[in-house]
Amino acid sequence: MLYGSVFAQEVLDRVVAVVDNEVILQSELDFRVQIEAAKLRIDPSSPELKAQILDQMITEKLFYAQAILDSVMVSANEINGQVDYQVQYLLQQYGSKENLEKLYGRSLEKIKRELRPEVEKQIMVKRLREKKFGQIEASRRQVEDFFYTFKDSLGMIPEKVKIAHIYKNPKMSDRLKARAYEVAKTLLDSIKNGADFGELAKKFSEDPGSASTGGDLGFVKRGIFYSEFESAAFALKEGELSDVVESPVGFHIIQLLEKRGESIHTRHILIKVKADNQTDLDLITFLSDVRDSIMLKDNTFEYYAKLYSDDKETSVFGGVLGTYYIDRLDPELLATVSKLKQGEISAPKRIDYSADNYGYHIVKLIERVPQHKPDLELDYDELKNLTVMYLQDEMEKTWLEEIKQNVFWEIKL
């Protein structure tokens, strides 16, 4: 999630804490307190809450300082992926790019640029924790000790479901690619014949982050763009247009505006390869036929998942997604699973991951376990996970005290 240092008020702030080379500003603390108070529906003026949040922020900075000392490295691709994920989350939360830009008083591209340093810190700390505690395992004896120590405070285990699916992505056929290419080629020809690049970008580009600014991507260092885009862009002379360039997100028309060493200022028009109604109908028909074959016992769900599913992480396991608390399922998946009896398979359902990433799947309910009191055998996997988390937390507390001895920190409230 976003932290206040990205969107802190642009006013003179007082420093409330110093950790190594980092500071925590009053506005950052207030921002985090407001967010947490809203989540918990409590009074944001609570001194206890403010102290708790400040302690969390100091801990984050201490771990970041340790990550620097341990030379933890993060790639540009990792940062870009996480920034894109957070921006997509914000767009879903606020409904549109315009709403988001209005709320933060910044263009989407500037929001992305300002997110990058904070995201890099978050990933570095996550990597540090994984390096230090990621290999911790819990023995059977440790799980039993945890269970008998805390079982009275664990509460009820919610209803659980074990599910599997066969998932298919819409295939971008040569027909669809050719259609998108022709649109991009027509626009390129129009620009060469005198049409205004910026106006065409505003009207036709399918990059939501740059279309409104005439396709302007600003100055970006080498290593940020897709390799196909970057190779074409760096090969251009200032003012020159590229041919139509294909990347994983579609077809681009690129113009190099300025080059400064290893940084380039470009603008582009993006035409995406998009599925159409016929593509969706073909997917639904295919999955319906697979479901019918399973129901007629031509072969098993597991067989067809290994053979056909585009979810490669689960297909090798017969499509098994895992066991989930039913109240934590995605609403769309919950709507599908809640209607199934044990052993039943759903009709094909659309599943959306983001604005441009979707597919269809059929879902099998393998097992349904009603709500119950914790049971050492029935809930062993969950209890083992809780035990590992408990052990990690205890070790992290000890390690944090060691870091505090080696990294300068001070509260200035």
* Mean pLDDT, all residues of the chain: 89
Mean pLDDT within 395-403:
94
163-177, 183-197, 290-304: least confident range: 163-177
333 in Cβ contact with 253 (< 8 Å): no
CB atoms within 10 A of CB 266: 26
Domains parsed from the chain with CATH numbers: 4-135 (1.10.4030.10), 158-171+276-369 (3.10.50.40), 174-271 (3.10.50.40)
- Rounded CA separation 363/310 (Å): 14
- Rounded CA separation 11/123 (Å): 28
Query: Which residues are within 8 A (CB) of 366 and not within 5 positions of it... i.e. 6 or more apart?
Result: 161, 162, 163, 164, 320, 342, 343
pLDDT band at 301 (very low <50, low <70, confident <90, very high): very high
Query: Which residues are within 8 A (CB) of 84 and not within 5 positions of it... i.e. 6 or more apart?
Result: none
Angle at 402 between CA 18 and CA 147, to 5 degrees: 115
CB atoms within 10 A of CB 168: 20
Q: Where does 41-173 have alpha helices with state H? A: 47-69, 76-94, 97-104, 108-133, 140-150
pLDDT tens-digit profile of 124-143?
A: 999 998 888 888 999 999 99
Mean pLDDT within 186-192:
96
Q: Looking at the predicted structure, is the pLDDT value of residue 297 above 80?
A: yes
3-state helix, strand, coil in the chain (%, to 5): 50, 20, 30
**Residue found under tokens 């597919």:** 359
pLDDT band at 12 (very low <50, low <70, confident <90, very high): low
Please report the pLDDT score of residue 341 as a whole number.
95
- Rounded CA separation 45/23 (Å): 22
| Per-residue DSSP letter, 15 | E
pLDDT tens-digit profile of 252-286?
A: 999 999 998 888 999 999 999 887 788 889 899 99
pTM above 0.85, yes or no: no
Please report the pLDDT score of residue 222 as a whole number.
84
Q: Which helix (H) or strand (E) holds 381?
A: helix 380-406
Please report the pLDDT score of residue 354 as a whole number.
64
